Amino acid sequence: MALGIKKVSIFTITFSAIVTWIGFYSWRIMFNNFAVEVFNASPTDVGMIQATREIPGLLAFGVGALALYFTESRITSISIVAIGLGLIMCGLSSSILMLGLATVLMSFGFHYFEPTNTSQLLALAGNKNVGKTQGRLNSYESMAGLAGAGLILLLTLFLDFRATFYIIGTAVMGIGLYLMFALPPNRGKSEKRKVRIKKKYWLYYTLSFLRGCRRHIFTTFAIFLLVKNHGLDITVIATVMLANNFITIFTNRYLGHLSDRIGERAVLVGCSLILVFIFSGYAYVTFLPILIALYLVDNVLFGSSIALKSYLSKISTPEDLTGCLSFGMTANHITAIIIPVIGGMAWITFGYKATFIAGAAIVFIDMLFAFKVPRKEVLQPEMQGDSHD
Do residues 203 and 373 touch, judged by C-beta distance below 8 A? yes
Looking at per-residue pLDDT, the higher value among 281 and 237 belongs to 281
The Cα–Cα gap between 323 and 258 comes to 27
**CB neighbours of residue 378 within 10 Å:** 12
Q: Work out how many domains the chain is built from and give that number.
A: 1
The Cα–Cα gap between 155 and 149 comes to 10
The Cα–Cα gap between 147 and 149 comes to 6
**Span 270-298, average pLDDT:** 90
The Cα–Cα gap between 152 and 234 comes to 9
φ/ψ of 134, rounded to 5, equals -65, -40
Which helix (H) or strand (E) segment holds residue 317: the answer is: none
**pLDDT at position 128, please?**
65
Residue 189 lies in a domain: no
**pLDDT at position 367, please?**
93
Which is it for the CA torsion 389, 386, 368, 50, positive or negative?
negative
**pLDDT at position 133, please?**
82
Residue 16 lies in a domain: yes
Residue 3 lies in a domain: no
Domain with residue 213: its CATH number is 1.20.1250.20
Residue 2 lies in a domain: no
Residue 277 lies in a domain: yes
**Span 273-280, average pLDDT:** 92
Q: 191-215 pLDDT, tens per residue?
A: 555 656 777 888 988 998 888 888 8
Residue 253 lies in a domain: yes
**pLDDT at position 163, please?**
92
CA angle 308, 311, 314 (to 5 degrees): 150
Within 8 A by CB and 6+ apart from 14, the residues are: 137, 140
Residue 83 lies in a domain: yes
**pLDDT at position 8, please?**
57
Most confident stretch, 26-30, 46-50, 62-66: 26-30
Domain residues for the domain of 203 are: 8-183+198-380
Within 8 A by CB and 6+ apart from 380, the residues are: 314
**DSSP class per residue in 39-108:** H---HHHHHHHHHHHTHHHHTTTHHHHHTTTS-HHHHHHHHHHHHHHHHHHHHH--SHHHHHHHHHHHHH
Judging by beta carbons within 10 Å of its beta carbon (0-12, 13-18, 19+), is residue 1 exposed, middle or buried? exposed
Residue 193 lies in a domain: no
Is the pTM above the cut of 0.85? Answer: no
Do residues 282 and 294 touch, judged by C-beta distance below 8 A? yes
Helix axes 202-228, 10-39, angle to 10 degrees: 40
**Span 59-80, average pLDDT:** 82
